[in-house]
Amino acid sequence: MMTLFIKNANVLNGQGQLESTHVWIESGRIKGIFPGTTSVGEILISAEDKQITQIDASGKLLTPGLIDMHVHLREPGFEHKETIATGTQAAAKGGFTTIACMPNTKPVTDKPEVIQLVLDKAAEANGVKVLPYAAITYNELGRELTDFAALKQAGAIGFTDDGVGVQNAQMMKDAMTLAASMDMPVIAHCEDDSLVVGAPVAESEFARKHGLKGIPNESEAIHVGRDILLAEATGVHYHVCHVSTEQSIRLIRMAKSIGINVTAEVCPHHLILSSEDIPGLDANWKMNPPLRSPRDVEACIAALEDGTLDMIVTDHAPHSAEEKAKGMELAPFGITGFETAFPLLYTKFVKTGRWSLEMLVQRMTADPARVFRLESGRLEKNAPADLTLIDLEEERTVDPADFASKGKNTPFTGWKLQGWPTMTIVDGQVVWAQEVITPSA
Ligand SMILES: NC(=O)N[C@@H](CC(=O)O)C(=O)O
Ligand SMILES: [Zn+2]
Ligand SMILES: [Zn+2]
């Protein structure tokens, strides 16, 4: 076990200010947090392990490791898009220490063996914590509930048919009743297929101009409304995936105000881009839910600010260049997310003064940890040493060629951003660093 001493890092204190801080890590946990004025020698003299790796974090932000509760790692079955090895490497490079992966693989994670396979592959990978979701229905077809008890036993942390909505209300109600009985959450991709019919982008001027069918806002919100009523009836913890519309937000806000157990997430792209930004028929701008109107974008930002939306997730959805080259109508939905998320949000919302750094960090650490009852997500004595170092000053241009992810499908190519992670630590082990670190006595 590595013993780490991170010195002179900038850490957010409870008041939202940055304070120079030393952090001592032993046996995978945070053993001590000291003001930067404390003499390093004095602290280290009491260390049992004398083989201590010191990391000089002067000028860098140190946060709890980032948590991403909605990602696609594509393995098993779609290894040409991503593998658990490449996906966790991309996650680490993006500063993420815990990620929760979706079941729309091939086979779908609808059986304990598939959950086990994901956990085995994750254990062989770089150390980033991988939490698997299991499917609600076999093959995500919406016809028959999976064996929730067996899947929970195998290590699933929740149930979702992400990729598609559960079309049948009784099926969703049965899923919620069963999940509630075993204290497990239901996580929903909200989309009513009868209102979508094969459209690649949102109903918008862009769709009209290019003669494309449009996805209406109601196709999302109608499921949110339905599921809130079912969550009220069953008492389940209901979590809404990738919220993108003003209408969904209105419903979630109302549900929370009367105490229904609903939580929700939002993606960086739905906070930053609208359908008006799509430059042309480039499928790197195609994702589900689609980019909506500027009004929806503003509603998402405001809802994240007031806590109606609880957390930020990337919905990291890698696809191959060949698949994305099929064009706006035929290419699959989805964009990569891990390696741009923090710099995008830092540059667009913190640098501009709209959000505090504290709020951004909370929505990517403490808030997901609270909602999904994870032990990580806080920088405290005795907490797991899941930590991320970030350079808030360095400006770099997004170039997919630099991604560790196999997925190069991003609409953010060429964007100049600040706030790049430089080191990611999981359970006290450095799982990724921009520069090689050598142990020092
Ligand atoms: N978000 C996407 O556009 N695509 C996801 C599926 C999903 O999250 O619904 C994918 O698996 O590619
Ligand atoms: Zn989805
Ligand atoms: Zn997804």
CATH number at residue 77: 3.20.20.140
Alpha-carbon Rg of the chain, whole angstroms? 21
**What is the pLDDT averaged over residues 326-337?**
98
Residue 360 domain flag:
yes
Choose the residue to mutate in 201, 333, 406, 410 for probing ligand 1, maximizing ligand atoms within 8 Å of C-beta: 333
What is the spatial distance between Cα 164 and Cα 173, in angstroms, rounded to a whole number?
A: 16
Residue 386: Cβ within 10 Å count: 34
pLDDT tens digit string along 221-238?
999 999 999 999 999 999
Residue 253 domain flag:
yes
143 and 290 inside one domain: yes
46 and 77 inside one domain: no
Q: Does residue 333 have its Cβ closer than 6 Å to ligand 1?
A: yes
112 and 205 inside one domain: yes
Question: Is the pLDDT score of 441 beyond 70?
Answer: no
136 and 273 inside one domain: yes
CATH number of the domain within which 49 lies: 2.30.40.10
**Which backbone phi and psi does 419 adopt, to 5 degrees?**
95, 45
pLDDT tens digit string along 60-72?
999 999 999 999 9
**What is the pLDDT averaged over residues 207-216?**
98
Nearest ligand to the C-alpha atom of residue 133? 3
- How does residue 41 score in pLDDT terms, banded at 50, 70 and 90? confident
Choose the residue to mutate in 187, 287, 292, 326 for probing ligand 1, maximizing ligand atoms within 8 Å of C-beta: 287
pLDDT of 148 reads 99
Q: Report in angstroms the alpha-carbon separations of 382 from 4, 25, 31, 186, 234.
A: 14, 9, 6, 30, 36
Question: Is the pLDDT score of 387 beyond 90?
Answer: yes
30 and 141 inside one domain: no
Answer for the pair 213, 200: CB distance below 8 angstroms, yes or no: yes
Q: Is the peptide bond before 289 cis (omega within 30 degrees of 0)?
A: yes
pLDDT of 438 reads 63
Bridge-based pairing of strands 61-64 and 387-397 is antiparallel
- How does residue 175 score in pLDDT terms, banded at 50, 70 and 90? very high
252 and 146 inside one domain: yes
pLDDT of 439 reads 58
Nearest CA to ligand 1 atom 7: 163
pLDDT of 51 reads 81
Strand 238-240: give its sheet, edge to edge.
186-188, 238-240, 262-266, 311-312
Mean pLDDT, the chain, integer:
96
Residue 400 domain flag:
no
Question: Is the pLDDT score of 131 beyond 80?
Answer: yes
Residue 380 domain flag:
no
Residue 226 domain flag:
yes
What is the spatial distance between Cα 340 and Cα 317, in angstroms, rounded to a whole number?
A: 13
Q: Which amino acid is at 307?
A: G
Q: Report in angstroms the alpha-carbon separations of 77 from 88, 103, 114, 145, 336.
A: 17, 11, 11, 22, 18
More confidently predicted of 210 and 44: 210
173 and 267 inside one domain: yes
| Ligand 2 center from residue 188 Cα (angstroms) | 8
71 and 136 inside one domain: yes
304 and 223 inside one domain: yes
- How does residue 49 score in pLDDT terms, banded at 50, 70 and 90? low
Across 1-10, 18-27, 118-127, 231-240, least confident range: 1-10
Per the structure, how many domains does the chain have?
2
- How does residue 44 score in pLDDT terms, banded at 50, 70 and 90? confident
**Which backbone phi and psi does 394 adopt, to 5 degrees?**
-60, 130
Residue 230 domain flag:
yes
69 and 183 inside one domain: yes
**What is the pLDDT averaged over residues 48-56?**
83
Residue 80 domain flag:
yes
| Ligand 2 center from residue 102 Cα (angstroms) | 9
- How does residue 43 score in pLDDT terms, banded at 50, 70 and 90? confident
78 and 46 inside one domain: no
Parent domain of 195: 64-371
What is the spatial distance between Cα 251 and Cα 223, in angstroms, rounded to a whole number?
A: 10
| Ligand 1 center from residue 268 Cα (angstroms) | 14
175 and 311 inside one domain: yes
Nearest to 58 by CA among 40, 31, 43: 40
Render 38-51 in DSSP notation, one character per residue: S-HHHHHTT-S---
pLDDT of 64 reads 98
Residue 361 domain flag:
yes
pLDDT of 1 reads 65
- ipTM topping 0.95: yes
**Exposure letters 339-362 (e unless 16+ CB within 10 A, then b):** bbbbbbbbbbbbeeeebebbbbbb
